[in-house]
C-alpha cells in the first residue's frame, strides 16, 4: 500500500478521506486539519496565548504537539493533579516529561493541601467521581485562563467522544447539555474563558496512530474511576457501526450540530451571572464549584483556588511551577 502523495509505504488508512498516507504525509495532513479547524470555527487568532489542559493521555499530548508544531499560538501546558493515587503520579510525571522534552512552559496545579483531591471530595458526597472531577477541572482551568490573561483554553475532546455525548444528550433529552457541546464556547469577559476543542473533527484512531508513530510519552494506565454506563456503550457501538457503513458520518453529524449550536449561542450568553463567592460565571447565586466545596469542605473554595493561581503561577511568570516538588512524583 503506497502513500497517496509519495512513493513511501503508507502507514495509515483514512477511510473517510479515501487516503493512504506515509508517516510524514500523515503528520502534514493532521497539521493542516488542525489549522483548518481553528479557522473554520474561529477558535483563536494567530499569535494568541492559549492554555492547553493536558491530562497526560494520548489525546492531550497529541493536541499539544500539533498546536506547538503549528506555531499558531503561545502555549501554556496546564495539568490539574487530581490526587488519584498511582494514576495521578504517573500522569504528573508524564506531563512534566512531555513538556520538558518539547521545551514548553507548564504548570502543575496541586490543590490537595486545601482538600481538593478527587478521592477525598468523592468520599464526602454522593456524586460520581467523574462528575466531581469534571467540575473541578473545568473550574480550575477556567479560573486559570482568565486570571493569567490567556485568550483561550484548549482541551483535547475528539470526534468519537463528542458524537457520543451529542447523541446521548439527545436520547436523555438533556438540551442544556446538548447545546453546551460545541467546538468553541465564546468567552464572557471577566466570567468565563473562551473554550476551544481543536480536535473536534479528529478521530481517536488518528490521534492514537500519531502519538505512537511520533513516540510521544502518554499515560496508558486507566483511571480507577473510569466507568462507561450501558447507554454510553450502546451509543458508541451504534455510531461506530454507522461510521463503518458510511465513513465520515461522525464528522457530518458534528458539523451539523456545530452549525446549529453556534448560531444559537449569543442569545444563551446574553445574561451571564457572577458567582457571589468567587465572581466567576454561575447559573445561580453561587457557581457549582463554590456550592459543592461549601457542602463538602465547609467553605466555598473558588477564591482560594484563584488566589493560589495568582500567587504561585503569576509570581513565577507561569514557568514550570508546581505545587509538589519533582522528587515526590513518579
Ligand atoms: Fe476524572 Fe473520571 Fe477521568 Fe478519572 S475517569 S480522570 S475521575 S473524569
Ligand atoms: Zn507520503
Ligand atoms: Zn464560585
Query: 104-129: per-residue pLDDT in tens?
Result: 999 999 999 999 999 999 999 889 99
Point out the ligand 1 atom lying closest to the alpha carbon of residue 55.
Answer: 6
| The pLDDT of residue 76 | 96
Enumerate the β-bridge partners of residue 282. Answer: 273
| The pLDDT of residue 311 | 87
129-147 and 288-297 helices cross at what angle (nearest 10)? 120
What residue owns the CA closest to ligand 1's atom 5? 226
Shortest-distance ligand to the CA of residue 305:
3
Residue 281: all three cell numbers together: 460565571
Shortest-distance ligand to the CA of residue 282:
3
Q: Is the pLDDT of residue 265 over 70?
A: no
| The pLDDT of residue 312 | 79
Q: Is the pLDDT of residue 329 over 70?
A: no
CA of 153 to the centre of ligand 3 (A): 19
Count other Cβ atoms within 10 Å, centred on residue 58. Answer: 22
129 CB under 6 A from ligand 1? yes
CA of 42 to the centre of ligand 1 (A): 29
> What's the alpha-carbon Rg for the chain, to the nearest Å?
20
130 CB under 6 A from ligand 1? yes
CA of 226 to the centre of ligand 1 (A): 6
User: Do 90 and 330 touch, CB atoms closer than 8 A?
Assistant: yes
What residue owns the CA closest to ligand 1's atom 6? 223
Residue 180: all three cell numbers together: 453546551
3-state secondary structure 22-63: CHHHHHHHHHHHHHHHHHHCCCCCCCEEEEEECCCCHHHHHH
Long-range contacts of 46-49 (CB under 8 A, 24+ apart): 46/72, 46/73, 47/72, 47/73, 47/74, 48/72, 48/73, 48/74, 48/151, 48/152, 49/73, 49/74, 49/76, 49/149, 49/150, 49/151
| The pLDDT of residue 318 | 52
User: What does pLDDT average to over the chain?
Assistant: 92
What residue owns the CA closest to ligand 1's atom 7? 130
What residue owns the CA closest to ligand 1's atom 8? 130
| The pLDDT of residue 324 | 39
| pTM of the predicted model as reported, rounded to 2 decimal places | 0.92
| The pLDDT of residue 268 | 53
Residue 88: all three cell numbers together: 495521578
**Can you tell me the distance from the alpha carbon of 66 to that of 84, in angstroms, rounded to the nearest whole number?**
28
**Can you tell me the distance from the alpha carbon of 135 to that of 296, in angstroms, rounded to the nearest whole number?**
13
Mean pLDDT of 42-61: 97
CA of 30 to the centre of ligand 2 (A): 13
90 CB under 6 A from ligand 1? no
Residue 319: all three cell numbers together: 514557568
Enumerate the β-bridge partners of residue 192. Answer: 188
Query: 181-225: per-residue pLDDT in tens?
Result: 999 999 999 999 999 999 999 999 999 999 999 999 999 999 999
56 CB under 6 A from ligand 1? no
CA of 185 to the centre of ligand 1 (A): 22
CA of 3 to the centre of ligand 2 (A): 5
Shortest-distance ligand to the CA of residue 121:
1
Amino acid at each position: 500500500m503506497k502513500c497517496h502523495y509519495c512513493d513511501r509505504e503508507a502507514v495509515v488508512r483514512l477511510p473517510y478521506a479515501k487516503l493512504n498516507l506515509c508517516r510524514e504525509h500523515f503528520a502534514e495532513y493532521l497539521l493542516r486539519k488542525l489549522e483548518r479547524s481553528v479557522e473554520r470555527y474561529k477558535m483563536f487568532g494567530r499569535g494568541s496565548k492559549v492554555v492547553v489542559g493536558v491530562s497526560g493521555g494520548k489525546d492531550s499530548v497529541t493536541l499539544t504537539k500539533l498546536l506547538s508544531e503549528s506555531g499558531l499560538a503561545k502555549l501554556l501546558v496546564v495539568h490539574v493533579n487530581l490526587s488519584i493515587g498511582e494514576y495521578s503520579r504517573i500522569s504528573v510525571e508524564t506531563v512534566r516529561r512531555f513538556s520538558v522534552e518539547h521545551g514548553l512552559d507548564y504548570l502543575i496545579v496541586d490543590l490537595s493541601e486545601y482538600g481538593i483531591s478527587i478521592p477525598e471530595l468523592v468520599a464526602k458526597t454522593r456524586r460520581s467521581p467523574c462528575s466531581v472531577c469534571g467540575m473541578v477541572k473545568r473550574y480550575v482551568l477556567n479560573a486559570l485562563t482568565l486570571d493569567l490573561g490567556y485568550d483561550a483554553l484548549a482541551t483535547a475532546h475528539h470526534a468519537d467522544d463528542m458524537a457520543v455525548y451529542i447523541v446521548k444528550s439527545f436520547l436523555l433529552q438533556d438540551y442544556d447539555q446538548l447545546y453546551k457541546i460545541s467546538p468553541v464556547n465564546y468567552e464572557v469577559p471577566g466570567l468565563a474563558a473562551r473554550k476551544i476543542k481543536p480536535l473536534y473533527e479528529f478521530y481517536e484512531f488518528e490521534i492514537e496512530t500519531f502519538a505512537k508513530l511520533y513516540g510521544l510519552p502518554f499515560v496508558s494506565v486507566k483511571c480507577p474511576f473510569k466507568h462507561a454506563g450501558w447507554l454510553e456503550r450502546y451509543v458508541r457501538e451504534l455510531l461506530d457501526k454507522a461510521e463503518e457503513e458510511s465513513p465520515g458520518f461522525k464528522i457530518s453529524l458534528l458539523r451539523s450540530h456545530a452549525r446549529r449550536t453556534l448560531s444559537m449561542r449569543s442569545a444563551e450568553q446574553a445574561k451571564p451571572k457572577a458567582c457571589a463567592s468567587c465572581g466567576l460565571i454561575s447559573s445561580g447565586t453561587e457557581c457549582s464549584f463554590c456550592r459543592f466545596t461549601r457542602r463538602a469542605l465547609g467553605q466555598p473554595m473558588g477564591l482560594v483556588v484563584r488566589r493560589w493561581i495568582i500567587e504561585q503561577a503569576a509570581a513565577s511568570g507561569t514557568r514550570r511551577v508546581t505545587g509538589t516538588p519533582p522528587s515526590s512524583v513518579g
